[in-house]
Structure 1
Amino acid sequence: MKAAAREPEIRNKSILQDIAKRAMLQRGLRPEFSSECNSELDRIQAPAKPDSVANARDLRHMLWASIDNDDSEDLDQLTVAESLPQGKIRIMVAIADVDSLVKKNSAIDRDAQANTTSIYTAARIFPMLPLKLSTDYTSLNLNQDRLAVVVDMTLDPEGRLLDSDVYRAAVRNHAKLAYNSLAAWLEGETEIPAAAAAVEGLAENILLQDKAAQMMKSLRHQEGALSLETIEAKAVFQEDLISDLVVEETNRAKQIIEDFMIAANGVTVRFLGARGIPSLRRVVRVPRRWDRIVEIAAAHAFRLPKSPSPRKLEIFLTMMKKADPLRFPDLSLAVIKLLGNGEYVAEKPGEEAQGHFGLAVKDYAHSTAPNRRYPDLITQRLLKAAIEGRPVPYSQDELERLADSCTRKEDLAVKVERQVGKSAAALLLESRIGERFSAMVTGAAEKGTWVRLLDIPVEGMLKAGSKGVDVGDEIEVELISVDVEQGFIDFKRVG
């Protein structure tokens, strides 16, 4: 039975906002902040003063800039680069000092622990911290002096890490830059963004950052970091009416941040370990279902070894991306599912690291987004204790409990985001029942056959006409029904 199309005037964001709130509550996540949190927030009247920390370095003169999504207001990091003699490059990442205002076991901290992450649904963001903090007092906002934890790295001329340090500093954001416009300039498509052009020397600095990031990226993939690519759709609204779904694609500006953050996350773990302090690591274990990944590769005439090898898997992925870019996101998704989810693990100093298989690194933590992720705030507190020679602020039991909670809550948050994303897709297509689309088969099993539309980033179930189709086939389908609340989209094969 076809779903009745809603009138356009009520096909708006509020429908998805209600679905998002229900999805949060159904999974035991908090959609709102507690009264205790709000009362404590009222008593915070200003950001932490940069000159309030005796040993903080004054780095406000450096050409710091933020590079983030076009609409981001919770700015966790700033970056800057510096040319050194003999072809070396200095890379610095400044991370917002959230702990300066969000103290352990405070009411705000307890609320942050409840969800452990900001949750970004298609129609509403559920921030981990109140907006007064995350988009203002603890955000590295434009032309504002802020306290930060700085990860300072020196690279050799090939992009290998030579030296590193972590310390507290006062910083100032001189330009708020957006991924897409900055990438268009880096890729030679447009003029430099006005915000960057307005700051003397920043254009050259960004080019140096890009050079360093590209070298670091190349080295990572040589070591076996995996080139995975999935289709992430973002809902677009016009006057609160959903009008489109656009694919979030990687670009050169995103790669600057990605590679700098990966490097900084490794440095923080080693910094803690060298000082005998435990860490909350981000782990992707060696895949238990490697045999199935081997079978997938064999189906594409590529032989993987019996023992898991990120380097060999990366060679296979690179080959497949070049050979069949249209189907590569579906192959990537299949591999991601077989690799298993990331998790947080509390590790004692000197313990053998479990590592991150997907990044092909042994030492890894989340440390660069303390406004958005609770594990990063925990790591920041550990780092500040290490820098200042104070006692470790968490017991091993606390870290283990928090690691389990953060892993579990992250999984719930992802499920909320996916559910609302599916509902957004259903809402967008609700008025298009009966229309035909080109599609690709992405899954075929006893429980059903799935297709992905080629012109709109939407996936749904093939309810009729699945006989004789296989994964990778391109077919013509007709939209037969949607269920916005459940996020169901159903098609039948035609032609």
Structure 2
Amino acid sequence: MNPIDLNQIAIEAMRSRGLLPAFAPQALQEAENARPADAQGRHSAIADLRQLTWFSIDNDDTRDLDQLSVAEPLAGGISRLRVAVADVDTLVRLGGAVDAHAAFNTTTVYTAAGVFPMLPEVLSTDLSSLHEGQERLAVVVDMQVEADGTVSSSSVYRAWVLNRAKLTYDGVSAWLDGDGPAPAQLANVPGLEAQLRLHDTLAGALRQWRHARGALNVSTVSARPVFNENGQLVDLRADEKNRAKDLIADLMIAANGATARYLIEKGFPSLRRLLQAPRRWDRLVALAASHGVQLPAQPDALALDRFLSARRRADAAGFADLSLAVVKMLGSGEYAAAPASAPGAPDSAQWGHFGLAVNDYAHSTAPNRRFPDLVTQRLLKAAIAGEAPPYSAEQLGEIAQHCTLQEDNASKVERQVLKAAGAWLLQGRIGEAFDGLVTGAADKGTFVRISGPLLEGRVVRGFEGLDVGDCVRVTLVAVDAEKSFIDFARA
């Protein structure tokens, strides 16, 4: 199989799952003609923050940069943290052809065959991307972070920003850990080293604050396709978390919480990202019991995180597999529409996220890649300008339901293409045995993940009695790259 075959599999998978693999001509033309809307035409003032030491950290090959950040130490261990999010709305007209495509797919789809962007690349990787050295409009989330990681106050406004340095996760992480050289930009951008060290401290405080309230300390890995110099797929390797990825995740969680609270304060309805208490808590109790730990009968995030932290210390090598089992048992997040309500309303807890231990959580920091973030950005800009919400609560409810559905469809497409790639890599290894972890057990089948290459397959024989989180030895019995299946039997 060559990359073109994988691409065709991806296209067919998207169509079968109700996703559009290509943009309509009208959308492409609209994107080509897009120019930033008259920023000064809105009622709100736009700050000029181009002089600040903004920077980004992302994957080496990322071109759709959604956010920048900058921090400032204040007295008494307090810090001011600002996160700038690309103003995508100014280039994507509400109700236009580009908006229609984004509203239909709702997400960028990342497959082993390539990326199917939510927005045309002339926007997502060019005009609406926060490229190094380019002046851009942004929506800024401005937060005051106490020494203990509490976000004590926040505001949201519009601003001009300038990315001073595009840094990479691997480079920053290796440098912070003392395992690699300083990023080259540190020598050329005054104050950048101090920014990175302050960001690292801030992220740690924000993380500690959430963990004290039950945020789950998991560490999962995902599969990353590896191609040779001829563009041929040669492996699926683990794409692991690192210190810089955690740093950015902590900042984005804080910013997403602040945007949700801002909309509450303005009396606006909003889109929230939810993860309810686990439906399979009984399996989590059984998993902990297999390690000699007793969890409460009812869902308890603090108790679960204490168990996870203990297992990380006791078995660092096996923690990724344990984390995956826990994540599978927690279930998937979803989007929901929260009606306009007064700040501090007693029902706010129902809009929380069990895994992150936060309430009032909205996705807002990736509008180039996720439609809910673009919707939230439009709500924020209307609130800033003193205008009426651009969406009603009923419309947000429909959007939330559709985004949850399409996110699930996109994940299925990504898994299908990954399995096609994995089947091609495994086609000469029929009869070989592997150590696996059960990642799914339902009427539709029992699934197991192996690590070399990193992929999932279905257990077609001997699956009786297996459940999520079980470790099992399996034998490869069949593969079919074109049909994207990998079959195992219990050894």
TM-score (norm 2): 0.91
Aligned to 1:124: 114
Q: Residue 484 in 1 paired to residue 488 in 2?
A: no
Q: Following the alignment from structure 2 to structure 1, what is the Cα–Cα distance between the partners of residues 434 and 282?
A: 33
Percent of pairs identical after alignment?
49
Q: Following the alignment from structure 1 to structure 2, what is the Cα–Cα distance between the partners of residues 121 and 15?
A: 13
Once the two structures are TM-superposed, the CA of residue 50 in structure 1 deviates from its matched residue by 6.6
Q: Residue 414 in 1 paired to residue 404 in 2?
A: no
Q: Deviations over 1:216-247 (max 9, x none)?
A: 11221121011223331010112220012121
- The AA in structure 2 aligned to 1:121 is T
Aligned to 1:176: 166
Shift in alpha-carbon separation, 1:405–1:442, aligned structure 2, 3 A: closer
Aligned to 2:76: 86
Once the two structures are TM-superposed, the CA of residue 449 in structure 1 deviates from its matched residue by 7.0
Q: Residue 321 in 1 paired to residue 317 in 2?
A: no
CA contact under 8 A between 2:321 and 2:437: conserved in structure 1? no
Once the two structures are TM-superposed, the CA of residue 195 in structure 1 deviates from its matched residue by 2.8
Q: Residue 290 in 1 paired to residue 281 in 2?
A: yes
Shift in alpha-carbon separation, 1:486–1:197, aligned structure 2, 3 A: farther
CA contact under 8 A between 1:419 and 1:487: conserved in structure 2? yes
Q: Following the alignment from structure 1 to structure 2, what is the Cα–Cα distance between the partners of residues 132 and 281?
A: 29
Q: Deviations over 1:341-389 (max 9, x none)?
A: 2111111122623211111111100000001000001100110111111
**Count of paired positions:** 481
The two structures, once aligned, show a CA RMSD in angstroms of: 2.5
Aligned to 1:189: 179
Q: Following the alignment from structure 1 to structure 2, what is the Cα–Cα distance between the partners of residues 393 and 298?
A: 50
Q: Say which is worse superposed, 67-76 or 348-357, in terms of deviation.
A: 348-357
Q: 1:276 aligns with which of 229, 250, 267?
A: 267
Q: Say which is worse superposed, 278-287 or 480-489, in terms of deviation.
A: 480-489
Gapped runs of 5+ residues in structure 2?
Answer: none
Shift in alpha-carbon separation, 1:50–1:172, aligned structure 2, 3 A: farther
Aligned to 1:442: 438
Shift in alpha-carbon separation, 1:42–1:16, aligned structure 2, 3 A: same
Q: Say which is worse superposed, 69-78 or 189-198, in terms of deviation.
A: 189-198
Q: Deviations over 1:141-176 (max 9, x none)?
A: 110000000001111122221221111000001111
Q: 1:299 aligns with which of 269, 290, 301?
A: 290
CA contact under 8 A between 2:472 and 2:490: conserved in structure 1? no
Aligned to 1:380: 377
TM-score (norm 1): 0.91
CA contact under 8 A between 1:95 and 1:368: conserved in structure 2? yes
Shift in alpha-carbon separation, 1:290–1:454, aligned structure 2, 3 A: closer
Aligned to 1:56: 46
- The AA in structure 2 aligned to 1:293 is L
Q: Following the alignment from structure 2 to structure 1, what is the Cα–Cα distance between the partners of residues 376 and 463?
A: 49
User: Where do residues 226-241 of structure 1 align in structure 2 (5 Å cutoff)?
Assistant: 226-238=216-228, 239-241=230-232
Q: Residue 424 in 1 paired to residue 405 in 2?
A: no
Once the two structures are TM-superposed, the CA of residue 92 in structure 1 deviates from its matched residue by 0.9
SS in 2 for 1:102: coil
Q: Say which is worse superposed, 195-204 or 264-273, in terms of deviation.
A: 195-204
Once the two structures are TM-superposed, the CA of residue 15 in structure 1 deviates from its matched residue by 1.5
Q: Following the alignment from structure 1 to structure 2, what is the Cα–Cα distance between the partners of residues 141 and 489?
A: 40
Once the two structures are TM-superposed, the CA of residue 487 in structure 1 deviates from its matched residue by 2.6
Shift in alpha-carbon separation, 1:465–1:159, aligned structure 2, 3 A: closer
CA contact under 8 A between 2:145 and 2:152: conserved in structure 1? yes
Once the two structures are TM-superposed, the CA of residue 307 in structure 1 deviates from its matched residue by 2.2
CA contact under 8 A between 1:48 and 1:146: conserved in structure 2? no
Q: 1:134 aligns with which of 121, 124, 145?
A: 124
Q: Following the alignment from structure 1 to structure 2, what is the Cα–Cα distance between the partners of residues 105 and 466?
A: 49
Q: Residue 308 in 1 paired to residue 294 in 2?
A: no
Shift in alpha-carbon separation, 1:488–1:59, aligned structure 2, 3 A: same
Q: Residue 246 in 1 paired to residue 237 in 2?
A: yes
Shift in alpha-carbon separation, 1:111–1:454, aligned structure 2, 3 A: closer
Shift in alpha-carbon separation, 1:453–1:400, aligned structure 2, 3 A: closer
Q: Residue 76 in 1 paired to residue 84 in 2?
A: no
CA contact under 8 A between 1:129 and 1:371: conserved in structure 2? yes
Q: Deviations over 1:71-114 (max 9, x none)?
A: 11000000111111222111110000001111211111111111
Gapped runs of 5+ residues in structure 1?
Answer: 1-10
Shift in alpha-carbon separation, 1:415–1:455, aligned structure 2, 3 A: closer
Q: Residue 344 in 1 paired to residue 335 in 2?
A: yes
CA contact under 8 A between 1:423 and 1:484: conserved in structure 2? yes
Q: Following the alignment from structure 2 to structure 1, what is the Cα–Cα distance between the partners of residues 379 and 465?
A: 57
Q: Deviations over 1:315-365 (max 9, x none)?
A: 112222333344433333333233222111111122623211111111100
CA contact under 8 A between 1:283 and 1:343: conserved in structure 2? yes
CA contact under 8 A between 1:297 and 1:304: conserved in structure 2? yes
Once the two structures are TM-superposed, the CA of residue 196 in structure 1 deviates from its matched residue by 3.4
